[in-house]
């Protein structure tokens, strides 16, 4: 067990997480870049926060910016050379219907707006804010994207004082709300489908439609968005090498959310636009401790297998353990023995259970559930399995084997050439 935990802690190093909330950051803020560089660990009120098109997050303060959750502060002109002086607000555009705007970064300075893509200023900018965003006031305090599904339509929330101006990207209509219960935001940040209002050195999480705040807020950002002495976990962290990756399980739920599990943590890998980040498994599935052996999704539910127990959760906005669970693997699936990996392909009713060098198929529509077919495999010691519209990946250590379908996997007698896990797949270092 110890080697798995060790590898998992290395993965934890990659994403530098808190056990309760978003990413943390590095304690070294100067690094000799600029003698006037601010120190986040001293308590900084950010001017603006926004991710870019690659999922890296920029934190702005005065004439400086932090590129990502780790590393020193640098002059903002090194990344945005046309920018002169501090900015008021920033956001990344979400507009898939217009690829010319989608994933561009908009920076607001007094009555002007700059549009950048890949740190290159778009032709014709800067412009007056009203040219691009009619009805939106100047001298803003904060801004944040809000895609359809989280807001009523693809929108941008512009903050000024206690007022929130909701800008509909398609219609260019603006609706103004007053959220007097929310602190005055000096910056706002959307991160993994959650929304954060930063004020002073603190932040408050809010609902993007109602502005509702639930939970104990405000919280000190130094506990969650950076690593500082006497805050959060602290310590030096190094990124994970892809060659050191070892997964325990993987699945994609009916909502299209893909999860990788390693030891006591999991990682969302469908949210690469927000960067790759990980959390403790208990954050989403609080009844499951110390990792899982296999996971699969079926019928708006997610099955977590740990030892001889199966935990079944409703895969809604917040995972809820179904009453009466956990149950034994034998009782639920008709399987005996240790499960190495499991997967269910889209629009299918068969759970493919891998044990050693065998794949056992279980019809999830049958009652009781029993093994319907048993196939020998040219592989063994598989760590995790994942099936999507593009085929099957069986993970073993830092590599995976690709098959086009369960039928080809079941009929295969010679293992295909293994491929390496890459940074594009899960954010490790190649």
Annotated binding site: 233, 277
Is the separation of the CB atoms in 151 and 190 below 8 Å?
no
Ranges assigned E (strand) in 26-84: 48-51, 57-61, 64-67, 73-75
Other C-beta atoms closer than 10 Å to the C-beta of 348 total 13
Residues in the chain: 430
* Distance (Å, whole) CA 373 – CA 45: 60
* Distance (Å, whole) CA 140 – CA 158: 7
DSSP at 111: T
* Distance (Å, whole) CA 199 – CA 221: 10
For 45, counting Cβ atoms within 10 Å of its Cβ (0-12 exposed, 13-18 middle, 19+ buried), the class is middle
Angle at 186 between CA 185 and CA 192, to 5 degrees: 70
* Among the listed residues 217, 168, 171, the one whose alpha carbon sits nearest the alpha carbon of residue 194: 217
Binding residues for heme, by number, are 233, 277
For 146, counting Cβ atoms within 10 Å of its Cβ (0-12 exposed, 13-18 middle, 19+ buried), the class is buried
The token pair at 377 is: 């495999």
For the CA atoms of the chain, what is the radius of gyration?
24
Torsion, Cα of 399, 405, 409, 415 (10° steps)? -40
* Among the listed residues 385, 315, 325, the one whose alpha carbon sits nearest the alpha carbon of residue 355: 385
| 146 CB-near residues (< 8 Å, 6+ apart) | 94, 154, 155, 156, 157, 166, 190, 195, 208
* Distance (Å, whole) CA 260 – CA 253: 12
Where b means 16+ CB within 10 Å and e means fewer, 236-249 reads: ebeebebebbbbbb
Q: What is the secondary structure of 129-147 as a DSSP string? A: HHHHSTT--SS-SEEEEE-
Q: Which residue has the tokens 């073993």?
A: 396
* Distance (Å, whole) CA 124 – CA 115: 9
Cα-Cα-Cα-Cα dihedral sign, residues 323, 329, 335, 339: positive
């Amino acid at each position: 067990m110890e080697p798995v935990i060790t590898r998992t802690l290395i993965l934890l190093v990659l994403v530098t997480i808190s056990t309760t909330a978003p990413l943390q950051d590095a304690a070294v803020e100067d690094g000799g870049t600029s003698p006037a560089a601010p120190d986040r660990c001293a308590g900084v009120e950010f001017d603006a926060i926004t991710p870019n098109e690659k999922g890296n997050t920029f934190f702005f303060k005065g004439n400086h910016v932090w590129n990502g959750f780790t590393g020193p502060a640098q002059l903002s002109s090194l990344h945005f050379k046309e920018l002169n002086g501090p900015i008021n607000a920033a956001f990344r555009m979400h507009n898939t219907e217009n690829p010319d705007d989608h994933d561009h970064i908009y920076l607001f300075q007094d009555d002007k707006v700059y549009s950048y893509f890949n740190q290159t200023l778009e032709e014709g900018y800067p412009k007056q804010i009203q040219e691009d965003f009619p009805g939106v006031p100047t001298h803003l305090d904060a801004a944040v994207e809000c895609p359809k599904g989280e807001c009523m339509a693809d929108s941008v929330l512009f903050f000024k004082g206690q007022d929130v101006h909701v800008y509909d990207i398609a219609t260019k209509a603006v609706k103004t709300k007053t959220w007097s219960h929310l602190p005055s935001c000096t910056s706002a940040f959307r991160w993994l489908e959650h929304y954060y209002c930063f004020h002073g050195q603190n932040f408050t999480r809010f609902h993007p439609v109602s502005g509702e705040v639930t939970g104990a807020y405000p919280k000190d950002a130094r506990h969650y968005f950076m690593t500082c002495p006497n805050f959060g976990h602290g310590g030096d962290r190094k990124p994970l090498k892809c060659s050191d990756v070892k997964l325990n399980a993987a699945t994609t739920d009916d909502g299209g959310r893909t999860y990788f599990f390693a030891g006591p943590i999991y990682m969302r890998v469908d949210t690469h636009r927000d960067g790759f980040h990980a959390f403790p498994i208990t954050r989403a599935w609080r009844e499951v401790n110390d990792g899982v052996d296999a996971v699969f999704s079926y019928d708006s539910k997610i099955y977590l297998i740990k030892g001889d127990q199966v935990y079944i959760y409703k895969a809604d906005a917040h995972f809820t353990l179904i009453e009466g669970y956990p149950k034994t693997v034998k009782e639920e699936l008709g399987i005996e023995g240790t499960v190495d990996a499991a997967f269910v392909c889209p629009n299918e009713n068969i759970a493919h259970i891998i044990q050693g060098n065998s794949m056992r198929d279980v019809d999830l529509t049958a009652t009781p559930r029993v093994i319907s077919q048993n196939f020998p495999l040219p592989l063994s010691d598989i760590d995790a399995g994942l099936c999507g519209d593009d085929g099957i990946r069986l993970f073993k250590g830092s590599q995976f084997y690709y098959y086009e379908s369960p039928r080809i996997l079941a009929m295969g007698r010679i293992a295909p050439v293994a491929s390496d896990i890459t940074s594009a797949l899960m954010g490790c270092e190649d």
